[in-house]
Structure 1
Amino acid sequence: MKFIVDNWMLILIALSSGGMLAWPLLRGANSGSLTAQGAVQLINRERAVVVDVREPEEFAAGHMTGARNVPLNQLEEKLAAAVKNKTVPLLLVCATGSRAQRAVAVAKKLGYEQAQAVAGGLKSWKEANLPVEKA
């Protein structure tokens, strides 16, 4: 007991840092997102559709092979036309993953239950040496 009283500050720091490390797991971080390798598996095994939510200029500069471009600000209006089958896995990608995470929420609201963001976006795709094409 004396140890706890004498070192309460260190114990508090250890508990709070452990809590910060565990928080993403408890919160379910990366729910709705997957790695570049996971995306490749979904594309190959389940015919996942890739939708790039970047602006057309960004998309033209380089995008995942076979991706369709529907900018984030037009997603609600144009996603149904770009991807008619709502049961197929939908992979949303942007430059770094932040816009794609917002796009997942929009897609799920529209009924695409298998919508997922590619974690790290096109950046992680390129870092994994996966194919990129230009428009």
Structure 2
Amino acid sequence: MRIRHSFTALVTLALVSGGLVSCTASPQATAIEVTEQTIVVDVRTAEEYSAGHLDGAVNVNLQSGRFESEIAEYDPEAEYVVYCRTGSRSAQAVATMEAAGFDDVTDAGGIDSAASATGLPIVTE
């Protein structure tokens, strides 16, 4: 595909010439304030959650087939920070939550980006 090759060539040129200093896939580049009222939601599987999650996070598996019904039990007026492994599932979860009427939902991306942005440590069970 011509456009794809042109983009690849442009990125390669930028890297070679030093024009690209850094690149991040995180949807949230700035700090995310987490208060006692903030509900931090890990949308990964239970196994992923058990292997390491942000301190205080609740696990609501996006891929369980029950995400919408489980999230419906939460207050749509509360403040939420959502993360996953890489940022893909968190984006899907945020879109689903917003469509369900949740007003204050922040996509923190992947777990490492979320830990950096929130300052919350990654803990294991």
Show the counterpart of 2:91: 101
Match for residue 20 of structure 2?
none
Q: Distance in 1 between matches of 2:55 and 2:30?
A: 13
Select 2:114's aligned residue among 125, 131, 135: 125
SS of the residue corresponding to residue 107 of structure 1 reads: helix
Q: More helix by proportion, 1 or 2? A: 1
Residues 108-119 of structure 1 mapped to structure 2, 5 A cutoff: 108-119=98-109
Task: Provide the rounded CA distance (Å) in 1 between the counterparts of 2:114 and 2:67.
Answer: 22
Does the 8 A contact of 1:34 with 1:118 survive in 2?
Answer: yes
The answer to whether the 8 A contact 1:54-1:95 is kept is: yes
Map 1:1-135 to 2 at 5 A.
33-35=27-29, 37-38=31-32, 41=33, 43-44=34-35, 47-73=37-63, 74-81=66-73, 83=74, 85-119=75-109, 121-126=110-115, 130-135=120-125
Rg (Cα) greater in structure: 1
TM-score by length of 1: 0.63
| Aligned residue-pair number | 99
Local SS of the residue matching 1:102: helix
Q: Displacement, 1:125?
A: 3.5
Distance 1:65 1:118 in 2: 14
Q: TM-score under structure 2 normalisation?
A: 0.67
Identity of aligned residues (%): 32
Q: Is the 8 A contact 1:50 1:90 kept in 2?
A: yes
Deviation at 1:55, TM superposition (A): 0.4
Identify unmatched segments of 5+ residues in structure 2: 1-5, 11-25
| Local SS of the residue matching 2:72 | helix
- Report the 3-state secondary structure (helix = DSSP H, G, I; strand = E; otherwise coil) of the residue aligned with 1:87: coil
Q: Quick one: which amino acid aligns to residue 112 of structure 2?
A: K
Partners in 2 of 1:115 and 1:91 — Cα distance?
Answer: 6
